[in-house]
Amino acid sequence: MSNKKELLWQSRFSEPFDRDALRFSSSVHVDKALYKEDIQGSTAHVTMLAEEGIIDRDEAELIIRGLQEIETELESGQLVPHWEDEDIHTVIENRLKEKIGATAGKIHSGRSRNDQVATDTRLYLRRQIRALDAALKTMQQTLVSKAETYRETIIFGYTHLQRAQPISAGHYYLAYFNMFRRDRQRLQDLLKRVNISPLGAAAFAGSTLPLNPKRSAELLDFDDVFSNSIDAVSDRDIIIEFISACSMIMMHLSRFSEDLILWSSYEFGYLEISDAFATGSSLMPQKKNADIAELVRGKTGRVYGSLITMLTIMKGLPLSYNRDMQEDKPPLFDSAESTIDSVTIFTKLLDHTTLREERLAKLTTEDLSLATEIAEYLVRKQLPFRDAHRVTGKIVTFSIATGKTLPKISLDEYKTFSELFDSDIYDALKPEASIKAKQTHGSCSFLSVERQIAEAKFLI
């Protein structure tokens, strides 16, 4: 498109806008992603204008047909936006003028670029929130499936990255289920604030034309309409909230990624990742790398950066609209794309992992992670917990020094630490018994995990 076309705001100026300044300020390479939302918002606005008698119905029909044709052109690649047109809104309006003539100018009656962009952004956010929620739901379904498959598989639970206590693997997967459940709750709560129409606020003060903002909101399936026209065009809280929610999701994914990376390493050897989701080394033939999990972990920092970008952009802006706000699109678009893509690919990766049950069974049987069971055994024999803790600590030291695992220590040796020990101590020194004995609410027992799985299915 030629830069000779007049920019939509240029009527007051006597000199053409400097070409380098136009290139610097052009956002069409970014905001072209909003073309569907822009056409959707314009269609609703024109429909409302005709219903209120501000433009003729025949003109509205002509404009809407033109907009539909332009959407097809943009979608097919027939119409290619160029930076000389400044932004996607100008691309669409200029093309509409080429198609239907001066009537195209009526599309902007009672509307400013400010409320137009704010509307497009909310429509985009609504779409991305729903897409992200759907991706998280699929992730939760995969987690429930994993929890069912491995409900009675025993793994180590960790604190401080040290083996702590044996737990059900199903319990582990459901911990992440609950993280992503909170993420979905945050998105649903955010949607209440996103789904409010700013259309009709105009530049920031409203309009002298008899607009019907409630009708525009209804046409766009918004739940409500703005209360204050200044806030309507200057609010970017919803973008910050969205990227914040994305940051939380990515943080959860990053933690999960770290577990998969560690567990699939030779040193841990608990988990196998399908070859379809691993890479090798260009130099070392033996390598099998958890690259997808590493990339997800890396993209977390990218989304965090977008959050800081938005907070920095907005921190010093006076009311109402300022051109700085144009820079909200790159962090918004990148966060949405990075997060949805990460959730989607991580779900596929997770679906292609298997726990190495034989190795886990051997390790959990021989490990010191049953020491807590010894302490609680002594508590059940009426020894105060602090004393039981000290006794157990000495037993652990003895186990390490002699190389005897806890089940291999003889009863006579146990009695040297406390006369309260009897042969039933060996019943407590089985991972399965340890897990089954934990009957408190939300615990890792197999029965508790079964209940949690049923609850999770209901919550999805």
The residues annotated as belonging to the active site are 160, 281
Q: Are 273 and 287 in contact (CB under 8 A)?
A: no
